Amino acid sequence: MKKVSFIPLLMVLLSFVVLSCNNVDDVTLENPKDMYSSEIELNNMSVVLNGQQHDVENLKFYPSNDDSTKLLMRIEGIIPSDSDLIIPVNVIPTQDSIIFSGKNSDPRYDFEVRGVYKKRSSIVYGTHNHVRLECSYKVIDGLKLEHPYVFRFDKGCIDFSSEDAGSFVDDKGNTYNNAEVAKTVITDICKNISRETTAMQFLFHENGTMDISLQKAGDTEMKPWMTVPYWFSKSSNSIILVFNDEQQLQVCYQWTGLPNICVPFLVNYGFRTSAYPLKLIYTDEDKLSFSFDPVIGYRIYSMYARAKGLEGTTAEEQKNFSLFKDILSKSNNYEFWQFIFTSE
């Protein structure tokens, strides 16, 4: 029987596939309306922020009612868990692409964009949109830049504020004032933390990153711990720190000391990469003070009370930790409590 070789046929098929995939043509663009006539898929976006690849959920363009010469570009998910950025952009059509550029109007930072929009056509994938976007993010106001904010646990840098502080709690026939319990517990927390870490430092940079350093007990200087991006929230006096997988576990371990209970207390808002945002509500006058969202504050305290709050503490301290947890959890009282960190 005559043998039939399938190799030539296979080579022909492979050649056809390769030629088809490589046969990608740019489609002529003459009207900026092409930019908002169809969706842009995630895989067809290239976003660079301050020279680094950055994760976003989506890009969309809209007509501007205020200026017919501009479009509005919505960048969805660039600030995890917060509102989208909407930037008016100038558009310049060329033969096979549309060049766009624009700038935001937030007084706290400059956010500039430059990009190229194209439509591409291939035999395999048909016509699709493609965007290459370069962003520049520079902080100009709202926080002191290159100024070390030092939070000293050995000097009691944590305090509280609560609408529920004047209430009372009963425990085994005894009645306790909520504010007195809170003050005792927070004093003990600062004392316990300072046995290992006496101080923490924040250093904000104009490129939207913040260095966090720690001073361990017995050391005379701060040592770098991690660097995280920070964004100004749409709401006033709020910033959002963004941790990656490794960093949020480091924060958890630093706070609890027990890796087996280090479940993420933050929600991952990343799309192609991990992003765990933590919103801080702050005031920056002579000192920097910040607090957490009450839900996050309750999670953080609960984790501490189950871990480091039990290490090297007396039975009386542990009773107070448990009592304060009951105060916070009763009828969702944690919504009325704020844990406040204040720098020197």
Residues 201-244 pLDDT 10s: 999 999 999 999 999 999 999 999 999 999 998 877 899 999 99
Task: Enumerate residues 6+ apart whose C-beta is below 8 A from 314.
Answer: none
β-bridge mates for residue 102, sequence order: 89, 113
For residue 344, the 8-state DSSP code is -
* Burial grade of 193 (CB within 10 A; 0-12, 13-18, 19 or more): buried
- In this predicted structure, the answer to whether residue 246 has a pLDDT above a threshold of 50 is yes
Residue 37 pLDDT more than 70? Answer: no
Query: Average pLDDT over the chain, rounded to whole?
Result: 83
Predicted pLDDT at 123: 53
CA–CA dist 243, 265 (Å, integer):
12
The residues near 42 (Cβ < 8 Å, ≥ 6 apart) are 57, 58, 271, 272
pLDDT at 185 over 60: yes
- Name the nearest CA neighbour of 61 among 80, 38, 45, 82: 38
Q: What is the pLDDT of residues 58-80, one digit of tens each?
A: 888 888 887 777 899 999 888 88
- Residue 19's pLDDT band, with cuts at 50, 70 and 90, is very low
* Closest listed residue to residue 18, CA positions, set 122, 99, 108, 105: 122
Distances (CA, A) of 339 to 33, 162, 190, 301: 50, 9, 12, 9
| Average of per-residue pLDDT across 247-275 | 75
Is the pLDDT assigned to residue 16 strictly greater than 50?
no
pLDDT of residue 31: 66
Taking only the tens place, the pLDDT of each residue in 295-325 is 888 888 888 888 887 888 888 888 888 889 8
Bridge partners, 61 (sequence order) = 73
- What pLDDT score does 118 carry? 87
Question: What pLDDT, on a 0 to 100 scale, did the predictor assign at position 170?
Answer: 78
User: How far is the C-alpha of 55 from the C-alpha of 275, rounded, in Å?
Assistant: 9
Q: What is d(CA 61, CA 38) in angstroms, rounded to the nearest whole number? A: 9
Burial class (CB in 10 A: 0-12, 13-18, 19+), 258: middle
Token pair in block for residue 129: 């949109």
SS3 278: strand
pTM: predicted TM-score of the whole model, two decimal places: 0.83
Residue range 164-184, pLDDT digits in tens:
777 877 777 788 888 899 999
Q: What whole-number distance in Å separates Cα of residue 276 and Cα of residue 87?
A: 25
